[in-house]
A and B are shown apart, each in its own frame.
Chain A
Amino acid sequence: MMLSTWRRLKTDRFGMGGLVIVAFFAVTALCVWTGLLGQGWSEVSGNRWESSSVAHWFGTNLLGQDIFQRTLFGAATAFEVGLIVTIFSIVLGTVLGGLAGWYSNSWLDEVILWLKGVLDSIPFYLFAAAIAFALQGNRWAMHLAMIITFWTTTARIVRGEVMRIKQREFVEAARAIGLPGITIVYRHVLPNTVHILLVQSTIVFVAAIKTEVILSFLGLGIQDGVSWGLMLAESSQEVLAGHFGNFVAASVALFVMLMGFNLLADALQDALDTRRTAT
């Protein structure tokens, strides 16, 4: 089943392009984490605002740090934020959404929906600021803020899907032999939401990275490292002085990676969809 999706995905040139881009950035992130690349991101290795040269491929920033190194590290940060937020919010959203959907119209459903409603109505950036403040500069404050608010979209989608799947006869068949609810949910219902979750993951990943950019502008972003958002924030001053290195590097990197993800997400959705209609 995954094979036929893969086969279909392979024929979508844009999708494969997206996959290649994402893979490229993923490998870069991996290299940074394992210490192979981007280690000089905080080093003041040159004069301020040097233009690009052999020593500094993208030039240097305000403090004389190598922009290229910082861009590489930014990829790692993007993936760190993206992966952590995506994995946790998807899991949380699936569990809560699944419970709400399976026990729909019960008190449990009402509670989860209420919680969702409350979180959805809090202006996100205020909320992120509040958490950052409450956790007093903890490095994970930003991730936590995102996880706590992002799970709601996944939960809503999963809840709807679970409610639909519940009606299908194969679920009735499982009930008829006496399988307990939990077993039915993880064995029969949730596997049929995988296609939705896959697409949702790419969407959340993109949202997380974009959110990080804005949080960095607000000074609530990454504390001990560099991200493209932070670079963009820094560059807002530099651009006024006529130095675009930082800005261009971060924007282009951000744009290319998000574009890659979007292409991949669309292609994935198509590849998964055709499988559903073919009998």
Chain B
Amino acid sequence: MNKHHQQATTPLLEVHELSLSYPHQENAIDRVSFKLEAGKTLGLVGASGAGKSSVARAILHLLKPDAGAVLFDGQNIFNMDHDTLRDARRRIQIVFQEPSSSLSPRRTVKQTLLEPLRHFAIGDNDYRQSKIRQTLQTVGLDEEVLSRYPHQFSTGQQQRIAIARALITNPDLLIADEAVSALDVSIQAQILQLIQALQQEHGIAFLFISHDLAVIRQIADDVAVMYRGQLLEHSPAGTFFSQPAHPYSKALLSFASFNAPAQLKALQATVEQLPACIYADRCTEKMPVCERLEPGIHNIRHKNGLHCVKCHLYDEKNTNDS
């Protein structure tokens, strides 16, 4: 079973001041911090290029950060010894956006599902056969898919196979990186149904990355907003959708309801002088301090849970009349 014996203080996943730059892109991840409790779902939203996928890859130990830590069950994955890291890898799995390219084209479904079991030396032959059968059932696929190749399936089925591969090691945390974005509405609904079942019946924690706020609304417990590598807001889902704090969050919600922005930046700026608050140049509620000083992360006391926002508007020192 995946029900995790939760210690009162240690979240399943904690990302702490994570920073990472690519050769061509500085601060792809810029001091990002958040926590994810076992069995909960965190929706990570933001436009493409905001750094969400980079965060996912850092959590999977596919990228080495320049600074900061990723703590899984309290331990920094970048300091783990070989065996602990191996175990962490077994317990964290990922589902990608494009089902057709996330499955190895020359391997049968059976080979694809067996690979993680073999690699992590899970169970014996009998266990593996029954685990495969069981997992296929969970994702709603028939056993006859085992002998076929990925290209013989529809996108919906391919995504189910990808989810099966992720589930087969009994993970505690599943990262879904735009996992439903490439799917038609009706298939997307089916996959979201599946994810909901995994949340409710298997107690798997999800880091659900998406640019689609309506989808996030369906399945997330908490929402974190990224913009240009920085985390600007992190709040419980209910609060986020009813009372977003950061101007960027408000803008996102407004766009999602088809309210067009007044103007888009006409040309991509080549070399940009980024203002102190990274969102200042597009912010409708900009104050003079926003250009000079980077905002700190402020906590808004809320009964629903932790609500942090990186914005000068919520700094008690700046608000004269609150």
Contact = CB atoms under 8 A, between A and B. Distances in A.
Q: Could you say which interface size class chain A belongs to?
A: 20 to 34
Interface string B6-30: 0000000000000000000000000
B116 A278 contact: no
Most buried by B among A168, A172, A173, A175: A173
A177 B100 contact: no
Given A188-B104, A191-B106, A173 B89 contact: no
Contacts of B89: 176-178
B151 A279 contact: yes
A55 interface: no
Contacts of A172: 57, 62, 94, 96
A170 B119 contact: no
Interface string A247-279: 000000000000000000000000000010011
B105 interface: yes
A173 B165 contact: yes
Nearest to B111: A187
A192 B85 contact: no
A241 interface: no
Given A191-B106, A279-B151, A177 B120 contact: yes
A188 B119 contact: no
A170 B86 contact: no
Contacts of A168: 101-102
A172 B115 CA distance: 14
A31 to B, nearest CB: 36
A169 interface: yes
B103 interface: yes
Contacts of A275: 151
Contact of A188 (B93, B107, B149): B107
Interface in A158-190: 168-170, 172-179, 187-188
Given A176-B60, A177-B89, A279-B151, A169 B119 contact: no
A188 B103 CA distance: 10
Given A169-B98, A173-B165, A188-B104, A178 B85 contact: yes
B119 A176 contact: no
A170 B85 contact: no
A1 interface: yes
B62 A176 contact: yes
Given A170-B102, A279-B151, A179 B119 contact: yes
A169 B101 contact: yes
Given A1-B149, A278-B151, A173 B107 contact: no
A73 to B, nearest CB: 40
Given A177-B89, A177-B120, A170 B101 contact: yes
B60 A170 contact: no
Given A1-B106, A1-B149, A279-B151, A178 B98 contact: no
A173 B93 CA distance: 9
Given A178-B86, A179-B119, A279-B100, A173 B94 contact: yes
A175 to B, nearest CB: 6
A174 B103 CA distance: 10
Interface in B252-285: none
A277 B120 CA distance: 34
Contacts of B151: 275, 278-279
Nearest to B60: A176
B168 to A, nearest CB: 10
A11 B116 CA distance: 40
Given A176-B94, A177-B89, A169 B102 contact: yes
Contacts of A170: 101-105
Contacts of B107: 187-188, 191
Contacts of B98: 169
Interface in B93-136: 93-94, 96-98, 100-107, 115-116, 119-120
Contacts of A191: 106-107
Contact of A178 (B57, B105, B106, B119): B119
A175 B106 contact: no
Interface string B128-156: 00000000000000000000010100000
Given A175-B62, A179-B115, 7 more contacts: A1-B106, A169-B102, A177-B116, A177-B120, A177-B169, A178-B89, A179-B119
17 contacts: A169-B98, A170-B103, A172-B94, A172-B96, A173-B96, A173-B102, A176-B60, A176-B61, A176-B62, A177-B90, A177-B120, A178-B86, A179-B119, A187-B104, A188-B107, A194-B106, A279-B151
10 tightest A-B CB contacts, nearest first: A169-B102, A191-B106, A169-B96, A170-B104, A176-B60, A178-B89, A168-B101, A188-B104, A169-B101, A170-B102
